[in-house]
Structure 1
Amino acid sequence: MECGLSRAAAALSALFALSWSAFLLLGGTELEPDVRTVAVVFLAQAVVTVVRGVRLRLSRADTGAAVALALLGQAVLAVGGASRLVVGQRCLLTVPAVLLAVLLLPRRAGRCTCLVAIGAQIATSWPADGPAEAVEGVWPVVATAVAGEVLTHLMRAAGDRADRAQRRVRAVRAAAGREEGRREAHRHFQGMLHDEVSTALQAISMPGVPVPRLREAATGAVAALASAPAGPGRDGRTDLAAVVRALRPPTGTALTVEAEGAVQVPSQVAEAAAGAAREALRNVEEHAGARTVRVRLRGCGGPGRPGAQRDEGFALSITDDGAGFAAGELAPSSVGLRRSVMRRMDAVGGSAEVHSTPGRGTTVRLEWRPPVAEPAAEGEKSGLSEGTAEDTAGRMRAAVGDVRRPLAAVCLPFLTVMGVIAAIHTSRSPGTGPLLVWYALLAALTVALLLRADSGIPGPVAGAACAFAVAGALGSFLVLPLSALKDFDSWPIGAVTPLLTLLVIVRPAWEALTALALEQAGIVVLVVTGPPIAPTSGATAAIVLPALFAPALGVIAGLAIGRTVAHLGGVTARAEAARSAALATEAARRAREELHRGRLAHLGEEILPFLAEVGSGRCAPDDPGVRDRARLLAGAVRDEIQLPGVLGRTVRELLAAARRADCAVVIQSDSDDLHPPAFLRLLLTTALTCGPTPREVFLTVNATTGAVRASLVVLPGDERRARALSDALTGAGAGTHAEVTNSATSTWVEADVRAP
């Protein structure tokens, strides 16, 4: 915001420099030496302020220099007679000082500095103009000081509010990033457990599989677990065709890969598609009994942002000539197809379809299309390009909130002071009463448009307002002499300033600038075609220039402030979006690592060392004891896949002991979501520790709206186990409803638990 204020001051200083340059050029040799010196000094000051405001940043030293020069310039003019310059040109000595004071100094110091500069102008003008005219002559300076102070205060207060709001947004986005990272890591870990770890353990537990193949599978599972914390990459692109060509053929099946050229997709999409394809090929190996399988990849172009690397869509099919199956045979809890294939693709915005007919093979089709690029957000637009009125207003809202408050700070002081000036001068000049009526209507119109500024001002209304303002300003010379340009009798010229300033900020700038140009051109035409108002052309220019500068100052100030604030709003939005995205990405990364560490803790105790031993050859995978151990560990991994993050060490040991005692344990879940761990651990612990070792244990977990339903069947039935289960579930706490039924053949538990 401070840089924005510096740039706004620099833009206004450019206008001051233009005015002093024109004054020097048109005044020529008619200017007295001391007046010419003052003009040169203030031209130099304006240029220095422009350069420092744009390239560096204005500081209190710039304010001190401006105030010192204002006091010195007024004193120089007073020695030779202040009336040698019209009052409008004298104001140009003080306006830069008060403007920099309110922008750059602390509030109290800025006010005191403004009073000193204004007092100096009144004191130096008093001898030449008299007390009334001297006080009246400082109204542009006072209005500038008031508007600048209010605007600066509001912008800084709005900036503080925006900072607080952005901190809240960052916290929310970081929390969302953590949650998304946790979900992403959970899906990734589930797929890795099924595709790599469970597959390797099952292969080791089966006799007849070649030892090199088992060691390769074990080594691959260990590598997958080691790389799991990073999860699927979100940055960068991968050639999916290269990944597809590297797919390993199923054992005993001829693989044909059709993938020509490169298909560039985001890395996480490539990983999801490759994982789904590998799972489809595993199903071919384990279930299809196929002789051949064909993998075909077809890429297609996709939409993208101009100048950005474009992602491509693709269709990937895996077709085998195996046994096939009926569509109804695909169970809802199927891990291989529903979780490792369909949900993988769904997680990255793609789709997966499975078509199969008994005896005629199976086709798995994977598709992904790049998302359509969203229109550029407000914060992504160029801050200094004009764009539409909605663009500018939106970027201003991003910087200062409700734009009506700073607009009121700019416009209302000018309206008020100009009203006083209008009343004073119309009372002095007979026949100018209609001008006061015109001004009252103009002020009411300006306030009405100000109230509509936040919601938008229609173009026809803005055009009509500009026409009314300019026509009134130029029409005032039907009752005013052109000589009124030398003092504030020509107040209607500057009366249009608040309206045009308002419109140049909230409407396309060309509208207000066109109106300003028409007014300026009209004044020049009146001066050129009318009676002389000064003996020489230089003297005429010295009178006309301040009159032209009066409305231009406010309009150009509004343009500079509005565009600077809009630019800052755009920059702030872009920077905030980038920072929030970085925070969300970092939060997601940490969440992935935390979930990975927690899920991997128990796997690392036994499963990882076992796989590492098999992969390195330290244990023989064809040994019956090794196969039996692999069978038990495969069961533990299946349990973890079905109930992720639920089973602690005690429950895992109980399940392993039951399996070693030839108890068939089957756990099924219809959802990858995390389940109520304490309740399910209680259920399994009680069932496996009370009574003799059962012959079979079936646990099914189904997600319902707001709850989880758990069904436990233990064969055969046992009265002591049933009582223990009933007592344990009775004390399970609020949100749990359970029924226990026991018979000689089985013990049944049906329980509903409020979702965590």
Structure 2
Amino acid sequence: MERGLSSAMAALSALFALSWSVFLLADGSAPDPDVRAVGAVFLAQAVITATRGWRMRLSRKDAAVAFVLAVLGQAVIALGGTSRVVVGQRCLLAVPAVLLATAALPRWVGRWVCVAAIGAQVAASWPADGPAVALESVWPVVATAVAGGVLVPLMRTAGDRADRAQRQVRAVKAAAGRAAGRREAHRHFQGMLHDEVSTALQAISLPGVPVARLREAATGAVTALAAAPAGPGLGGRSDLAAVLRSLRAPEGTTLTIEITGQVPVPPDVAEAVMGAVREALRNVEDHAGARTVRICLRRGARDRPDDTDRGSDGFTLSVTDDGRGFPAGELPSTSVGLRRSVIRRMTTVGGSAEVLSTPGRGTTVRLLWSPPAAAPAAGTAARPGAAEETVGRMQAAVGDVRRPLAAVCLPFLAVMGVIAAVHTLRTPGTGHLLVWYVSLAVITMALLLRAGTVIPRPVACGACVFAVVGALGSFHVLPLVGLADYTSWPVGAVTPLLTLLVIVRPAWEALTALVVEQIGIVVLVVAGPPIASSAGATAALVVPALFAPALGVITGLAIGRTVARLGGATARAEAERSVTLAAEAARQAREELHSRRLADLGEAILPLLTAVGSGRCAPDDPDVRERARLLDGAVRDEIHLPGVLDRAARELLSRARGEDCAVFIQSDSDDPHPPAFLRLLLTTALNCGPTPRELYLTVNATPGGVRASLVLLPGHEVRARALREAVAEAVTGSVVENSLSSTWVEADVRAS
């Protein structure tokens, strides 16, 4: 925001420089060298301020220099008589000082500097012009000081508020990124446990599996455990065709891979597809009894029912075997392999999967994926107009644009209203001009209230016509020589309206109205009776009058466009920053969850898998196979109850399995469940009484929580009593029943 204020001040200083250049050229024949010296000094100051404002942030030094020069310039001109310089040009000595004071100095210091600069101009004019003219001539400086004193703090406050809001947005997006990263890492870890770790441990626990295959499976599982999941869409594109060609044929089958050309996809899609295909091949090897397997990959996903309007991008991949197959509808909803490792993987990345099978005729697993629908091309959808875009960008920078607009316009309206009333009383036959100004002020206020949305073009153009026609028409009753003072006040009365419109509407509308007014005044001066003794003297009178409305309009244009540009840049940078922060938060969450889950399981599993993969232990050793069987049970428990079991619970389950207890844990969802209550059920059941012969734990999702059912065979009164006491303290409405054949617990647990 500070940089924007400096840029706006640079634009105004360039306008000051232009005015002083015209003044020096028009009054070059004047015999007073002190006036030319003042003009040259202020021209140099305007050029330096404009250059510094564009290149860097203006500082307190610039404000101090402007104030000193303003006071000295007024004194120099006053010593020779203020009548040598028209009032409009004298105001240009103090306007830069008050603008820089409000923008670059502390608030209380800036106020006193503004008062001193205004007082210097009044003191310089008072002896020659009288108190009334001296006070009247200072109104542009007063209005500028009031507008700057209100606008600059408001913009800074709004900027601070926008910064806080942006920090809150970043925090929310980072939290959302962390949550998404945890969900993604959870799904990745669950799939990796089933596809790699459990498969390797199960193979090690079975006799007769070739040693080479066991080592390959163990090494692959270790690699999978060590690799954290990649984020979606990161790292460019992966060629799906290339990674599919590295697949190994299932044991006892012939694998044929049919691929034409490259199929580039995001890395997360390639990872999901490879996991799904590997699971399909494992099912072929373990269950199908097939002789041949064919993988067919082709670009385009037109076979998908809901893909009719998504084009031919994406792919269709099928894994077909000639095995025994199974009846349609036989696939259970709780099938871990196909449901989680195939269907869930594809839906997670925006694709789909289907399993088609017929007894005796084999099975086909079909995977389909299409990229997300592209955003409408430029011009195909409604885009905001220039006015909507400008207002939107300003709102991104300062919030409600009506407050800064009111700070710019209302001081000018108020002061100009006083001047209009005073001159209407002084000049007979000009009462209709006061009515015109009151109407103009009402229109400006109405448009100011509407500026928070969009002002329609017909309304804006109509207001411009009313303002310019009234200002030029005033010279039917006002003398052109009044351009030297505030008798021609209607010329500057259009400033608030045009300033407002140049900020919230396309700039050309207000600038066109300003140019029309300026040209009209020049035409009237050229066509009318002489108002000065020479062309140079005439220019010296006219230029400050033309500069009065131009100052406000150019000020509004500079501030409005600077704020809009900064707002647009802020919005773009904030969007990019938020995306980056969310992605980084998701990456950290993925790595943290992966590391935590790995720490829970890896200390027991990794040594065994590493030893088998490296050949340091014989996989046909009965102790190794038994250890692998128990660890496979622990992995499957973790798959069904992710994040629930701690070390103590896993040790109890492993001990129970070692004592020939058949443990069956089933869940209808792989999302995390209430860990404390489920751990309480298991530890109470296994710590009280003898080891049961069978243990069944089923967890089903319910609206607002889960339903946990625990069955232990045979029944045991001591165990039942301990379970009854434990669950009664944890949840209400639980049921614990016991008989000689079984102990049964059922409880509804609300999600925390």
The TM-score, its normalising length taken from structure 1, stands at 0.94
Question: SS at 2:525's partner residue?
Answer: helix
Q: CA contact under 8 A between 2:118 and 2:141: conserved in structure 1?
A: yes
Closer, same or farther in 2 for the Cα pair 1:40/1:358, shift >3 Å?
A: farther
Q: CA contact under 8 A between 2:276 and 2:342: conserved in structure 1?
A: yes
Q: CA contact under 8 A between 2:301 and 2:368: conserved in structure 1?
A: no
Cα distance in 2 for residues equivalent to 1:259 and 1:162: 53
Question: SS at 1:342's partner residue?
Answer: helix
Report the alpha carbon displacement of residue 514 of structure 1 after superposing the two structures with TM: 1.3
**Deviation by residue 1:572-630 (Cα, 9 ceiling, x = unmatched):** 22333333333333332332233223212232221110001101101111223222221
Report the alpha carbon displacement of residue 483 of structure 1 after superposing the two structures with TM: 1.3
Closer, same or farther in 2 for the Cα pair 1:125/1:594, shift >3 Å?
A: same
**Deviation by residue 1:435-468 (Cα, 9 ceiling, x = unmatched):** 0000001101111111111122122211111111
Give the match for residue 700 of structure 2: 702
Give the match for residue 181 of structure 1: 181
1:622 corresponds to 2:623 = no
Give the match for residue 470 of structure 2: 472
Give the match for residue 316 of structure 2: 315
Give the match for residue 743 of structure 2: 747
Q: CA contact under 8 A between 2:301 and 2:369: conserved in structure 1?
A: no
1:36-47 matched pairs, under 5 angstroms: 36-47=36-47
Report the alpha carbon displacement of residue 301 of structure 1 after superposing the two structures with TM: 11
- More off after superposition, 593-602 vs 397-406: 593-602
Cα distance in 1 for residues equivalent to 2:300 and 2:514: 54
Q: CA contact under 8 A between 2:642 and 2:670: conserved in structure 1?
A: yes
1:50-89 matched pairs, under 5 angstroms: 50-89=50-89
Cα distance in 2 for residues equivalent to 1:526 and 1:326: 97
Closer, same or farther in 2 for the Cα pair 1:717/1:7, shift >3 Å?
A: same
Cα distance in 2 for residues equivalent to 1:373 and 1:126: 70
Q: CA contact under 8 A between 2:186 and 2:593: conserved in structure 1?
A: yes
Give the match for residue 339 of structure 2: 338
Give the match for residue 381 of structure 2: none
Give the match for residue 714 of structure 1: 712
Give the match for residue 329 of structure 1: 330
Q: CA contact under 8 A between 1:387 and 1:508: conserved in structure 2?
A: no
Cα distance in 2 for residues equivalent to 1:355 and 1:481: 95
Cα distance in 2 for residues equivalent to 1:231 and 1:196: 20
1:143-222 matched pairs, under 5 angstroms: 143-222=143-222
Give the match for residue 13 of structure 2: 13
Closer, same or farther in 2 for the Cα pair 1:176/1:376, shift >3 Å?
A: farther
1:660-739 matched pairs, under 5 angstroms: 660-733=658-731, 736-739=732-735
Unaligned runs of 5+ in 2: 303-311, 379-383
Give the match for residue 307 of structure 1: none
1:381-530 matched pairs, under 5 angstroms: 388-530=386-528
Q: CA contact under 8 A between 1:8 and 1:561: conserved in structure 2?
A: yes
Report the alpha carbon displacement of residue 29 of structure 1 after superposing the two structures with TM: 3.4
**Deviation by residue 1:368-426 (Cα, 9 ceiling, x = unmatched):** 3333455899xxxxxxxx96111111111111111111100000000000000100111
1:22 corresponds to 2:18 = no
Letter in 2 for 1:205: S
Letter in 2 for 1:264: P
1:600-619 matched pairs, under 5 angstroms: 600-619=598-617
Question: SS at 1:406's partner residue?
Answer: helix
Closer, same or farther in 2 for the Cα pair 1:355/1:44, shift >3 Å?
A: farther
Q: CA contact under 8 A between 2:231 and 2:586: conserved in structure 1?
A: no
Report the alpha carbon displacement of residue 699 of structure 1 after superposing the two structures with TM: 1.2
1:630-645 matched pairs, under 5 angstroms: 630-645=628-643
Cα distance in 2 for residues equivalent to 1:406 and 1:568: 15
Q: CA contact under 8 A between 2:301 and 2:316: conserved in structure 1?
A: no
Question: SS at 1:532's partner residue?
Answer: coil
Question: SS at 2:329's partner residue?
Answer: helix
Cα distance in 1 for residues equivalent to 2:558 and 2:735: 74
Report the alpha carbon displacement of residue 704 of structure 1 after superposing the two structures with TM: 0.8
Letter in 1 for 2:439: L
Give the match for residue 124 of structure 2: 124
Cα distance in 2 for residues equivalent to 1:13 and 1:290: 85
Letter in 2 for 1:646: V
Letter in 1 for 2:528: G
Letter in 2 for 1:602: D
Q: CA contact under 8 A between 1:676 and 1:755: conserved in structure 2?
A: yes
1:268-347 matched pairs, under 5 angstroms: 268-299=268-299, 313-347=314-348
Letter in 2 for 1:21: S
**Deviation by residue 1:486-529 (Cα, 9 ceiling, x = unmatched):** 11111111111101111111111111111111111211221222
- More off after superposition, 744-753 vs 328-337: 744-753
Closer, same or farther in 2 for the Cα pair 1:672/1:376, shift >3 Å?
A: farther
Cα distance in 2 for residues equivalent to 1:67 and 1:724: 87
1:582 corresponds, among 572, 580, 583, to: 580
Q: CA contact under 8 A between 1:739 and 1:749: conserved in structure 2?
A: yes
Report the alpha carbon displacement of residue 28 of structure 1 after superposing the two structures with TM: 4.1
Letter in 2 for 1:461: V
Cα distance in 2 for residues equivalent to 1:664 and 1:31: 114
Letter in 1 for 2:336: V
Closer, same or farther in 2 for the Cα pair 1:316/1:23, shift >3 Å?
A: farther
- More off after superposition, 658-667 vs 164-173: 164-173
Q: CA contact under 8 A between 1:276 and 1:344: conserved in structure 2?
A: yes
Cα distance in 2 for residues equivalent to 1:376 and 1:422: 53
Closer, same or farther in 2 for the Cα pair 1:47/1:360, shift >3 Å?
A: farther
- More off after superposition, 2-11 vs 569-578: 569-578
Question: SS at 2:489's partner residue?
Answer: helix
Report the alpha carbon displacement of residue 220 of structure 1 after superposing the two structures with TM: 1.1
Cα distance in 1 for residues equivalent to 2:337 and 2:15: 72
Q: CA contact under 8 A between 1:393 and 1:454: conserved in structure 2?
A: yes
Question: SS at 1:709's partner residue?
Answer: strand
Cα distance in 2 for residues equivalent to 1:373 and 1:397: 28
Q: How many residues align?
A: 740
Closer, same or farther in 2 for the Cα pair 1:85/1:109, shift >3 Å?
A: same
- More off after superposition, 340-349 vs 711-720: 711-720
Report the alpha carbon displacement of residue 30 of structure 1 after superposing the two structures with TM: 4.7
Closer, same or farther in 2 for the Cα pair 1:282/1:550, shift >3 Å?
A: same
The TM-score, its normalising length taken from structure 2, stands at 0.94
Cα distance in 1 for residues equivalent to 2:479 and 2:320: 94
Cα distance in 2 for residues equivalent to 1:528 and 1:43: 27
Question: SS at 1:364's partner residue?
Answer: strand
Cα distance in 2 for residues equivalent to 1:468 and 1:566: 28
Unaligned runs of 5+ in 1: 303-310, 378-385
**Deviation by residue 1:35-79 (Cα, 9 ceiling, x = unmatched):** 333222222211111111111111111111111221222222223
Cα distance in 1 for residues equivalent to 2:390 and 2:326: 61
CA RMSD of aligned residues (A): 2.3
Give the match for residue 570 of structure 2: 572
Letter in 2 for 1:215: R
Letter in 2 for 1:507: R
Report the alpha carbon displacement of residue 167 of structure 1 after superposing the two structures with TM: 2.5
Cα distance in 2 for residues equivalent to 1:280 and 1:352: 11
Report the alpha carbon displacement of residue 106 of structure 1 after superposing the two structures with TM: 0.5
- More off after superposition, 243-252 vs 218-227: 243-252
- More off after superposition, 38-47 vs 426-435: 38-47
Q: CA contact under 8 A between 1:181 and 1:587: conserved in structure 2?
A: yes
